[in-house]
Amino acid sequence: MGKLDVAILRYLTSEDFRVLTAVEMGMKNHELVPGSLVASIANLRHGGVHKLMKELCKHRLLTYERGKQYDGYRLTNSGYDYLALKALTNRKVIASFGNQIGVGKESNIYTVADEDRTPLCLKLHRLGRTCFRNIKGKRDYHAHRNRASWLYLSRISATKEFAYMKALYERDFPVPKPIDFNRHCVVMQLVHGGPLTHVTSVADPDALYDELMNLIVRLGNCGVIHGDFNEFNIMIDEDNHPIIIDFPQMVSTSHTNAELYFDRDVRCVREFFKKRFGYESDLYPKFSDLEREDELDTEVACSGYNRTKDLDNDLLEEMGIGLQVSDEESDSDDEENVEDNKTKYSEQDLEELRKEVDASIQSDTRTTVPEIAAKT
């Protein structure tokens, strides 16, 4: 943690990248991926996978572990960071790295810059790792599969954040411009300013209060609730206007507990204004005031993050990611699949995995980014 070791981005070869991608694929079904499986799906022209894996372990991008009945490799946080950052640099979204500027609840935030030296913000989502222990005692059933899921949880959190940020940006909400994302990393505009929690006084609390409440209502009329609308996720820019950040937990106003989440967001603002600025108002929005004007919630839900088949509804719910993962695809009965290293792969399965590795590498070596523009 702390500094990103980015020197390694230049140092590692495309074969290293392929091996790491193969381990990533293997981790869909294994907590520890057998070396032989990595060799088979990485499918290097001249072999030598084991030597490469050993080197990657030295750089701490992989670890080799011995379990009770099995042993094998798994990606480390750094290994996963490497895959995402390599893809983002290939695309020329990122050209250089700066400092860590924040540690959120479930993320690390860095400044980066593109080729024109425009400073940008990089958010690395880090879900799951620490939460497992909390869940474990309570839910033994899940404990098993969860250890390999940090990768998917982090990825889904980033995907969801990007989808919301894009939909909001396109509707001219004051949010950072989303630039691109890959795996668990989101790249966005760097906000010049600081979180509201650092603001000790404002010239016109009344105006800022109105602006924030209007935002909550505007979001609601679009069909969404921020869900964590507090002084840490409201940035104040150089012109003293709010910029909203941090979207992975956003929910639809059609969610069963929507009113509860809505009221909580409103209460957060009221309590903060009272505590910090001694400001109180009888005027505040209610859930029943909302009037549907847009379908931002369905638009984002359709954009793909909720169709990821390797996710588990209950688990996500437990981790506070209220996703509508479709039931047909969440295979809750085959938890033995995870970390069962005796899983037999047919030649056809292996061919399928090889194709996935190829497709992933192809997309990671893409050099262009789709343009995102506000609809004004």
| Residue 230 binds which of Mg ion, ligand ADP, none (CB < 5-8 A, kind-dependent) | none
- Give the CA angle between residues 135, 138, 139 to the nearest 5°: 75
Distance CA 19, CA 268 (A): 47
Smallest gap, in angstroms, from Cβ of residue 105 to ligand ADP?
A: 4
Smallest gap, in angstroms, from Cβ of residue 190 to ligand ADP?
A: 5
Burial 17-43, CB ≥16 within 10 A → b, else e = bbbbbbbbbbbbbbbbbbbebbbbbbb
Q: Give the residue with the Cβ less far from ligand ADP, 22 or 191.
A: 191
37: enclosing H helix or E strand: helix 35-42
Q: Binding of ligand ADP at residue 205 (CB under 6 A)?
A: no
| Binding window for Mg ion (CB under 5 A); candidates: 19-27, 69-77, 85-93, 241-249 | 241-249
Smallest gap, in angstroms, from Cβ of residue 192 to ligand ADP?
A: 8
Catalytic site includes residue 228: yes
| Binding window for Mg ion (CB under 5 A); candidates: 71-79, 161-169, 244-252, 258-266 | 244-252
User: 286 Cβ partners below 8 Å, 6+ apart?
Assistant: 263, 266
The site that binds ligand ADP (CB under 6 A) totals a number of residues, namely 19
| Binding window for ligand ADP (CB under 6 A); candidates: 30-38, 68-76, 105-113, 330-338 | 105-113
| Binding window for ligand ADP (CB under 6 A); candidates: 81-89, 96-104, 219-227, 301-309 | 96-104
| Residue 287 binds which of Mg ion, ligand ADP, none (CB < 5-8 A, kind-dependent) | none
Smallest gap, in angstroms, from Cβ of residue 222 to ligand ADP?
A: 20
Task: Give me the torsion for CA of 265, 269, 270, 274, rounded to 10°.
Answer: 150
Smallest gap, in angstroms, from Cβ of residue 242 to ligand ADP?
A: 13
Provide the 10 A C-beta neighbour count for residue 11.
10
Q: Binding of ligand ADP at residue 102 (CB under 6 A)?
A: yes
Binding mask 94-113 for Mg ion (x = CB under 5 A): ----------x---------
224 in Cβ contact with 296 (< 8 Å)? yes
181 in Cβ contact with 93 (< 8 Å)? no
Closest of 86, 60, 89 to residue 75, by C-alpha: 60
Closest of 312, 341, 330 to residue 152, by C-alpha: 312
Q: Give the residue with the Cβ less far from Mg ion, 6 or 234.
A: 234
Q: Binding of ligand ADP at residue 191 (CB under 6 A)?
A: yes
Tokens 């509804």, residue located: 313
Catalytic hit among 228, 297, 310, 364:
228
Question: For Mg ion, which residue has the nearest CB?
Answer: 246
User: 97 Cβ partners below 8 Å, 6+ apart?
Assistant: 4, 6, 110, 112, 113, 122
Distance CA 245, CA 279 (A): 24
Question: For ligand ADP, which residue has the nearest CB?
Answer: 104
Name the residues that contact ligand ADP, by CB under 6 A.
101-102, 104-107, 109, 121, 123, 176, 188-191, 195, 232-233, 245-246
Give contact residues for Mg ion (rule: CB under 5 A). Answer: 104, 232-233, 246
* Residues noted as catalytic: 228
